[in-house]
Structure 1
Amino acid sequence: LQSMMHLLDRVAFQRIETRLAQCLLARAEEGRLRATHAEIAVMIGSAREVVSRRLDALARR
């Protein structure tokens, strides 16, 4: 129940960019950077299209 509340808090109150960056950093620290946009979207509670757009914007920075 506590982990579900934590997930709900993250999805409700953290920006997509923040959740995406945290996900990428956590996977990098684990040595696992291979994931599809759809897989990342599921991990952060978003849609694949949103993840694709945010990753594209991040790559252009």
Structure 2
Amino acid sequence: MLDKLKGLLKGHEDTARQGVEKAGDAFDAKTQNKYQSQVDTAQQKLNEQLGSQEQRPEDRPPT
């Protein structure tokens, strides 16, 4: 199931990251930051699954 989800998100990682951030922020607002550290950890884990936000070597312009 996770592989299928990753396939659907391929090429849309930035949009997915933004969604993860918005969802976490909304949850924090609803719970008055009661679970902020857990939400931050979940956001970090999801972003790791989406891949690095940094440019990959093959995407970098030549120097």
- The TM-score with structure 2 as length reference comes to 0.44
**Greater helix proportion:** 1
- For the pair shown, the structure with the greater C-alpha radius of gyration is 2
> Whose relative contact order is higher, 1 or 2, with alpha carbons under 8 Å and at least 6 apart?
2
